[in-house]
Amino acid sequence: MPYFHVVYTLPAEIGDIAYQNKAVIYDLLFKASAETTLTIAADPKHLGARIGFMSVLLTWGSTLTHHPHAHMVVPGGGLSPDGSKWIACRPRYFLAVQVLSALFRRLFLDARYKTMTLPTNEFIRRFLIHVLPKGFHRIRHYGLLANGNRPRNIAHARQLLALPARPKEPETPEAALEQPRALPRPCPCCGSRMIIIETFARGCEPKYRPTPPAAIRIDTS
């Protein structure tokens, strides 16, 4: 099954607004691009199917300037409205794959890499432009690949495509997860292996408390 790469980008004027209102504009970019893709794909004049895709937000251009845009990875088909069959898109999109691949390969090799030298403070400024608001999700899934129903939809699509069922991954026993993990480097003081007994966030108190050694008593009576 082929996949396609779709990109939605914002004009410079909207990008300037997004720079001061990141959470609002980035969220609108996700929602508008997702609704557009789902609506057009569901239209019988185009594909007439319920599709799913993965969408990734990027906020930078090739020179780390502010350039918000969304990249999508879209399967080449989807489920029929009643869910009874898989509807595939055309085997070729706008141009033949061989022509696209050859042109892309030539242009890529002719371009090689371009070097840009920036002062340290300017590089840091450009880098910090792309720090997202706290709690904002850069990667989101929609349609058939939405988090809630993704396993069931993928299994249904594989069944319609007559693909073999994917083998289940072996479950890790809970006891194994609770076992301490050995670090590759030895202790710099005694040379013994170091083992992680607990991981906790900055500012939090550890729950683990080492057991104090038993007191030694000497009876001289």
Q: What is the pLDDT of residue 115?
A: 76
Instruction: Give the pLDDT mean for 100-128.
Output: 78
pTM beyond 0.75, yes or no: no
Q: What is the pLDDT of residue 175?
A: 53
Name the residue with higher pLDDT: 106 or 136.
136
Instruction: Give the pLDDT mean for 170-190.
Output: 64
Instruction: Give the pLDDT mean for 132-157.
Output: 91
Residue 170: is its pLDDT beyond 60? yes
Instruction: Give the pLDDT mean for 96-118.
Output: 66
Instruction: Give the pLDDT mean for 70-96.
Output: 84
Q: What is the pLDDT of residue 213?
A: 58
User: For 39, phi and psi rounded to 5 degrees?
Assistant: -70, -45
Query: For residue 141, what pLDDT band results from cuts at 50, 70 and 90?
Result: very high
Q: What is the pLDDT of residue 43?
A: 87
Q: What is the pLDDT of residue 121?
A: 94
Q: What is the pLDDT of residue 94?
A: 45
Instruction: Give the pLDDT mean for 199-210.
Output: 73
> Average pLDDT, whole number, for the chain?
81
Q: What is the pLDDT of residue 116?
A: 84
Q: What is the pLDDT of residue 96?
A: 39
pLDDT in tens, 36-59: 899 888 988 888 999 999 999 999
